Structure 1
Amino acid sequence: MVQIPSAQIPGVYHRRIGDIVVTALSDGYLDGTVEVMQNIAPADAERMLTDRFRPGRRTSVNCYLVYSAGRLALIETGSGNYLLPTAGKLQENLKAAGVNPADIEAVILTHMHPDHSAGLTNMATGERYFPNAELIVHENEPKHWGDDGAMSRADERARKLYFQAAREQMAPYHNQMRPFNKSVEVFPGVTSIPMHGHTPGHSGYMIQSGGKSLLIWGDIIHVPEVQVPRPEVTMAFDTDPHAAAATRRRVFDMVATDRQLIAGMHVHFPGFAHLVRQGENYLMVPEPWDQAFGA
């Protein structure tokens, strides 16, 4: 009798950017309600999702390995065990990709929300998941999430999931942190681009090699089906919603004008896509699966 598959294949996908290889790794996904979206009526958000065959707000969580100059970095660490059981799959997908976490020299974060940084540390043991990695992040992130005054002004959920989680995850890396405060090469071929708004230090990363480039834009969007055609839609967990929306419009204009390949943490896996203009609006065009792997 033929055996019926009982599990999905690993969430691993490779993409060449010149001499650099970028590997997308799925941490899973997070389902939630549309009420966290702002500047849009819930009924309108639900209609837009239904029109695009989405039963609800499903948020992909993606991480990216960067193989460059004989070295290995990881951009984002996923959500560990802080959020839903449908996420937190990074470690098993690293294993499926044949990667030993001890071989990762740098962990680079776009920001320190738990779906991006809560996979830094095993909270059951207090051990670093990446024992030999330097932690690279914009200086505003540890400064903000370590601010007792800002924490006191947050609601209970934010205090636990954002401030406390960030502090717990950062602590084992305190002697291995390299903060930056401007656009700078943080790893061979990888340059930081501050894109503040979603959080005080939110940053993207431009990967360039051999005349090719990829912009890993972090959390410029959370719900592609809604925020691409409606960039004014913000999220309840934006630290500065006005700045987040302004940054999104600026980045949309840049990548559409430059025909820039992007990858996003919340673009549906594997997350590689282009943005094109449609009149005054935008359309996201996912990149087709490349079986040849750039050969």
Structure 2
Amino acid sequence: MIRTTIIAVILLASFLKTSSAMADQTSSSSMRKPQAGYLRVMVGDAEVTALSDGTMVLTPDMLTGAPRAEIDRHLGNAHMQAKPLHTSVNIFLIRHAGRTVLIDGGCGLFYGPTLNKLPASLRAAGYSPEEITDVFITHLHDDHAGGLVAGDERIFPNATVHVDRREGVNAMVEPYEKVGKLARFEGSVELMPGIRSEPTPGHSPGHSGYMLESNGEQLLFWGDLMHIEEVQFPAPQINVIFDGNRMAAMKQRQTVFADAAKRGYLVAGAHVTYPGIGRLAKEGSGYRW
């Protein structure tokens, strides 16, 4: 009995030592390495793959429209008060109607080493940049369009980039425009069979969602309708400082949240914890993911 106890203590000590070493590795070197990720779901006949472009850190100071005490209360309810808010950057790939489509193009080199994971995620999922036929841009902020180019070089050489006309044209899409690969639309338009643009201006002038529909199933890609889920799901009236027109952004968020919760279709958020695909349910004055 004594010998068994001694062996158990030795094994426990060895386990704790190994666990500690693994924890140290996870918190240091491992997390700095590429973390390519993807997840596939079916929406009717359409195959949707969620691709990780990495994470960025946001702070409560970026939220506006409510007292800090209210913001802290929501963060506390999510056990995230006084902790870094590691916000996912999600890109989505759709295979449907003979096309291979990306929703947004990733950050590229704009935001440091925790991002620009889309190329690795794309390869891990079995695709190459040359296979992309279309890129639907929700809006032309760096973290959604920065990965379209490297200098003047097009990262997706065979793709047509689609963007709402009200977003204008900037350096991230100019290389596509020069070769006739920039398609500009306005408002609600069927861009290909089963995918329609859904105008949601507010975060930016031409901010657009995209509704995928196949065999009666739907998935709405909503771009930057929200950024910090721990606060903006329970309190959709709270904005972020990145919203160009905060009142319009808030109204769009409340309208889309209410519709998604009522109708129960899938939604995909650019800044919801990876993989960013789920459904909303009404809960009190807010919503539950």
TM-score clears 0.5 = yes
Match of 2:235 among 226, 230, 233: 230
Normalized against structure 2, the TM-score is what?
0.84
Letter in 1 for 2:250: A
Q: Is the 8 A contact 1:27 1:88 kept in 2?
A: yes
Whole-Å Cα distance in 2 between the matches of residues 91 and 71 of structure 1? 19
Q: Is the 8 A contact 2:148 2:156 kept in 1?
A: yes
Letter in 2 for 1:130: F
- How many Å apart are 1:103 and its aligned residue? 1.0
Letter in 2 for 1:267: V
Q: Is the 8 A contact 1:30 1:59 kept in 2?
A: yes
Q: Is the 8 A contact 1:50 1:56 kept in 2?
A: no
Match of 1:64 among 87, 92, 96: 92
- How many Å apart are 1:116 and its aligned residue? 0.5
Match of 2:106 among 74, 78, 85: 78
Match of 2:251 among 236, 239, 246: 246
How many pairs align? 258
Whole-Å Cα distance in 2 between the matches of residues 198 and 31 of structure 1? 19
Name stretches of at least 5 consecutive residues in structure 1 with no aligned partner: 147-166, 285-295
Whole-Å Cα distance in 2 between the matches of residues 31 and 19 of structure 1? 36
Q: Which residue of the partner structure matches residue 48 of structure 1?
A: 74
Q: What SS does structure 2 have at the residue aligned with 1:119?
A: helix
Q: Is the 8 A contact 2:51 2:122 kept in 1?
A: yes
What does the per-residue CA deviation read over 1:193-220, in whole Å, with 9 as the maximum and x for residues that have no partner? 0011110000111111111111111111
Whole-Å Cα distance in 1 between the matches of residues 124 and 173 of structure 2? 26
- How many Å apart are 1:273 and its aligned residue? 1.3
Q: Which residue of the partner structure matches residue 128 of structure 1?
A: 154
Tell me whether 1:263 sits opposite 2:268 in the alignment.
Answer: yes
Whole-Å Cα distance in 1 between the matches of residues 35 and 283 of structure 2? 35
Q: Is the 8 A contact 1:27 1:90 kept in 2?
A: yes
Matches within 5 A, 1:92-171: 92-123=120-151, 126-142=152-168, 167-171=170-174
Q: Which is helix-richer, 1 or 2? A: 2
- How many Å apart are 1:56 and its aligned residue? 2.5
Match of 1:172 among 172, 175, 184: 175
Name stretches of at least 5 consecutive residues in structure 2 with no aligned partner: 1-17
- How many Å apart are 1:84 and its aligned residue? 2.9
- CA 1:56/1:40 → structure 2, altered by over 3 Å: closer, same or farther? farther
What does the per-residue CA deviation read over 1:129-174, in whole Å, with 9 as the maximum and x for residues that have no partner? 00011010111011xxx5xxxxxxxxxxxxxxxxxxxx22111011
Q: What SS does structure 2 have at the residue aligned with 1:118?
A: helix
Letter in 1 for 2:171: E
RMSD: 1.9
Letter in 1 for 2:283: Q
Q: What SS does structure 2 have at the residue aligned with 1:256?
A: helix
Q: Which residue of the partner structure matches residue 206 of structure 1?
A: 211
Moved more, 248-257 or 34-43: 34-43
- How many Å apart are 1:64 and its aligned residue? 0.5
Q: Which residue of the partner structure matches residue 21 of structure 1?
A: 47
- How many Å apart are 1:43 and its aligned residue? 4.5
Q: Is the 8 A contact 2:99 2:134 kept in 1?
A: no
- CA 1:249/1:191 → structure 2, altered by over 3 Å: closer, same or farther? same
- How many Å apart are 1:8 and its aligned residue? 7.1
Report runs of 4+ in structure 1 exceeding 6 Å deviation: none
